[in-house]
Structure 1
Amino acid sequence: MNQSDQSRESFGSRLGFILAAAGAAVGLGNIWGFPTQAASNGGGAFLLVYLVMILVVAFPMLVVEMAIGRHGQANPVDSMKSLTSHPVGKHIGGLVGWVGLSVPSAVLAFYSIVGGWLICFLFGAVTDILGMDTATAWLKGFSVERNLFGTILFYVLTVLIVQGGVKQGIEKWSTRLMPALFVLFGVLFIYIMLQDGAVEGLKHYLIPDFSKVMDRKLILAAMGQGFFSLTIGGCSMLIYGSYLSKKENLPKMAMNVTLVDTAVAFIAGLVVMPAMFVAMQKGVQIYAEDGSLLSSDTLVFTVLPLMFDSLGLFGQLFAIVFFLLLVIAALTSSISMLECPVALVSERFKTKRTPTSWVLGALIAAFSVVIVYNFGAMFGLVVTVATQYLQPTAALMFCLFGGWVWHRHSKVKELELGFPEFQQSWFGKVWPLYVKFVCPVLVATVIWASFG
């Protein structure tokens, strides 16, 4: 192993790892994507299928990605190379690592723009209460200047956390931000449930319409959502896995991350779906005539603020809580995205973490600035390329490499560290074959569905 020196950092505690990895997975996809998908696909039916898909598709893949990282104890490129001793295999593994590494960099380029919007809306909610109308209009309006301001501020916050390293940066902040996320959600949920129309929304969300459960569109949507929810193929899990102690039970840790991530998506639905129905009571139009969701991509920026506005001062205060929550969710993901290239450069070139974080952050930020200036032409394109092409392709390659190139014996040995009875357990009997044959088919299906 090329990284066996003792200087490599690791997570200080189990909880720290679980919250950081779940934080990496918990992003706008859970809080914004999941409720929107549920609202578009029959509420409870989608929730049910989603829970099944998380266990069948996402969880086994998460174990693969974390195991590759922990086995290699290095950045994605060197970790992929460590899976085989064959020179050609090593070369291809390195290339797969580079494809994987392109995912968080491309995603961060557009994600930070959205993160910037959230920061601006958060400030806008504050200036609204203070009666600073001009500032509020600027912060909530859509202008190049405002987008640049938000984006750059979001990058600065991300870099400040990443430069602290694994224990002092990522772990320290994840263990503060993630509990804050749950507390804020709890407060919002209680508040929304006291409004008219909320109970209807809750029923729509929790009671499945079983006639829709077998709907092909719904199943594919749930599969894709589960897949992206855990950032499979996004490298974050691989890099966090590489900071995980060899003494830990890997499948158990992966399951904990999956549970926290799914809990956040579920709770987001508990808040957003009733909030949509409250907004409908207040006369805000949410569904079109044919039952499809209006403005599904801007739900967070249009529908919910309208609802908060209609609820007077309390509503304004809760707008602050809501956007703070979204900024936290976005940050816990962006730090894992920036960590991927930072780990590679600082390990390969033995550079210091702080300058590396700032330089790489600035490089990706420069790309974001180009997108901001050419928003109409580039934003949607970058989102599509990153999420529909790069990420599923990286996931498929990780899966094929983890299933076919990485020898079963070596794979089993990695999982037996911290879980000695792995081979005797049903998971140990099923998983190696499942990763080899079932997972690639499922990932290929997600890719196929995104073209459909």
Structure 2
Amino acid sequence: MSSNRESFSSRLGFILAAAGAAVGLGNIWGFPTQAASNGGGAFLLVYLIMILVVAFPMLVVEMAIGRHGQANPVDSMRSLTSNPLGKKFGAFVGWIGLSVPSAVLMFYSIVGGWLICFLLGAMANVVGLNDVAEWFKGFSIERNLLGTILFYVLTILIVQGGIKDGIEKWSTRLMPALFILFGLLFVYIMLQQGAVEGLKHYLIPDFEKVMDKKLILAAMGQGFFSLTIGGCSMLIYGSYLSKKENLPKMAMNVTLVDTAVAFIAGLVVCLQCLLLCKKASIYAEDGSLLSSDTLVFTVLPMMFDSLGLFGDLFAIVFFALLTIAALTSSISMLECSVSLVSERFETKRTPTSWVLGSLIAAFSVVIVFNFGELFGLVAMIATQYLQPIAALLFCVFGGWVWSRHSKIKELEQGYPEFQQGFFGKIWPLYVKFVCPILVITVLWASF
């Protein structure tokens, strides 16, 4: 690859950008829903274990492949072997991996559009445009279409700016604000009556549920989705990482930031769910969540509405930052295909970003007009089938095709003592044998 290829300018920039790729609706929309549906503390405990024993080792694999190849997903996979047949298989794996962020972006952008609409609705409330606010908070085709288009425009504008001036700039300035606001929301909720009971439900696991097969598979799947394992985002960001950096340490930092956001988001949303149960039931008779796909968009607006004008101001800041969190994920998804086209065909980044972004947006528009039939289907195919399959292929290729010597050499760059530690001793065999079995388990459960 060309030595002129962009890279992150700082460690913090990489950590926040990569964590931003992981942090998003998987944490703030998906995780609280899963936690509320699967016993609170029991799900949290299993999720944390799965992040450590499954997701983190595979995150290191993806980032290492990207940094080794210093290229787009297809060419990075090809670089792992000199065998002609292996290169063809590697390119195939790269294309499968590349399909994941594009497929996820098709439905993800619609949810991102909801965030923008709730933001605009809160703004309209503040200035007294109540009818406009109600329209933005509704669920019409026109409203969803507008939100989706606006979300794509913002995503494309950031991606066209490149790594340093686009992705890194936005991530380092706006991700920390998300932590601060979640902290404020937590303080507010803890001041409400009954919050301590909710906190116990979220933090203290029911060990009878911990071994539940459904819960374990849900936690493992959420771990994949949350850290975008198999989603190519970490592979492409790894390709922009300097060879001087300690890659396992960087991967652990990304994992910790991502998990912290999921933990805090689950804390805020699940506590609010339990408090709302006293006012209006959000659970069905069988214990399942009502409107689980829109949980965050049901629970948090109810909380903000209870605060009056202060709630509208809070909602503006919250949904603005939530939009940013969603954007830090969507830009990594679009970057995967933009990097491929711009590197393969030597096209300029700006027109490439707009053309590819518009093509994926066209599929999202079709989903908007056929929401009931397509949204859940596309989300299921992308996250329950495509992403685990891509994760499995990355793991198999990285574990079996990529030579042990080359893997170790890559990780020793920036971390010469890699093989001396416990992780360095078990990781090559772990990703070769254990991780594929665990991913196959998730796939088996999906099928």
Deviates more, 1:136-145 or 1:79-88: 136-145
Match of 1:10 in 2: 7
Match of 2:104 in 1: 107
For 1:108, the aligned partner's letter is: L
Quick check: 1:44–1:204 contact (8 Å CA) kept in 2? yes
2:440 and 2:4 map into 1 onto residues whose CA distance is: 39
When normalised by structure 1's length, the TM-score is 0.97
The reply on whether 1:84 has 2:85 as its aligned counterpart is no
The reply on whether 1:295 has 2:291 as its aligned counterpart is yes
Match of 1:201 in 2: 198
The reply on whether 1:316 has 2:312 as its aligned counterpart is yes
The reply on whether 1:170 has 2:148 as its aligned counterpart is no
Deviates more, 1:374-383 or 1:233-242: 374-383
Task: State the aligned residue count.
Answer: 447
Match of 1:236 in 2: 233
For 1:406, the aligned partner's letter is: W
The reply on whether 1:304 has 2:300 as its aligned counterpart is yes
When normalised by structure 2's length, the TM-score is 0.98
Quick check: 2:69–2:75 contact (8 Å CA) kept in 1? yes
Quick check: 2:174–2:321 contact (8 Å CA) kept in 1? no
Following TM superposition, by how much is the alpha carbon of 1:41 offset from its aligned partner in structure 2, in angstroms? Answer: 1.2
1:317 and 1:375 map into 2 onto residues whose CA distance is: 30
* Partner of residue 339 from structure 1, selected from 335, 338, 355: 335
For 2:94, the aligned partner's letter is: G
Following TM superposition, by how much is the alpha carbon of 1:29 offset from its aligned partner in structure 2, in angstroms? Answer: 1.1
* Partner of residue 186 from structure 1, selected from 174, 183, 186: 183
1:303 and 1:159 map into 2 onto residues whose CA distance is: 30
2:160 and 2:315 map into 1 onto residues whose CA distance is: 31
The reply on whether 1:370 has 2:366 as its aligned counterpart is yes
Quick check: 1:162–1:169 contact (8 Å CA) kept in 2? yes
Following TM superposition, by how much is the alpha carbon of 1:321 offset from its aligned partner in structure 2, in angstroms? Answer: 3.1
Match of 2:34 in 1: 37
Following TM superposition, by how much is the alpha carbon of 1:280 offset from its aligned partner in structure 2, in angstroms? Answer: 2.3
Following TM superposition, by how much is the alpha carbon of 1:303 offset from its aligned partner in structure 2, in angstroms? Answer: 2.7
Q: Which of structure 1's runs of 4+ aligned residues deviate more than 3 A?
A: none
Quick check: 1:279–1:304 contact (8 Å CA) kept in 2? no
Q: Map 1:126-275 onto structure 2 (within 5 A).
A: 126-275=123-272
Instruction: Describe the superposition over 1:185-244 as per-residue Cα deviations: whole angstroms up to 9, x where unpaired.
Output: 112111222222222211110111122212222111111111111000000000000000
3-state SS in 2 of match to 1:299: helix
Quick check: 1:177–1:332 contact (8 Å CA) kept in 2? no
Quick check: 1:161–1:335 contact (8 Å CA) kept in 2? yes
Deviates more, 1:74-83 or 1:105-114: 105-114
Instruction: Describe the superposition over 1:31-72 as per-residue Cα deviations: whole angstroms up to 9, x where unpaired.
Output: 121111111111111111111110000000000000000000
Identity %: 83
3-state SS in 1 of match to 2:296: coil
Quick check: 1:188–1:318 contact (8 Å CA) kept in 2? no
Match of 2:443 in 1: 447
Quick check: 2:145–2:365 contact (8 Å CA) kept in 1? yes
Quick check: 1:152–1:365 contact (8 Å CA) kept in 2? yes
2:198 and 2:120 map into 1 onto residues whose CA distance is: 29
Match of 2:388 in 1: 392
For 2:204, the aligned partner's letter is: I
1:117 and 1:15 map into 2 onto residues whose CA distance is: 30
What are structure 1's unaligned runs of at least 5 residues?
none
Following TM superposition, by how much is the alpha carbon of 1:291 offset from its aligned partner in structure 2, in angstroms? Answer: 2.4
Instruction: Describe the superposition over 1:358-394 as per-residue Cα deviations: whole angstroms up to 9, x where unpaired.
Output: 1111111111112212222222221111111111111
Instruction: Describe the superposition over 1:288-312 as per-residue Cα deviations: whole angstroms up to 9, x where unpaired.
Output: 2332222221111223222322332
Q: CA RMSD in A?
A: 1.2
Deviates more, 1:359-368 or 1:78-87: 359-368
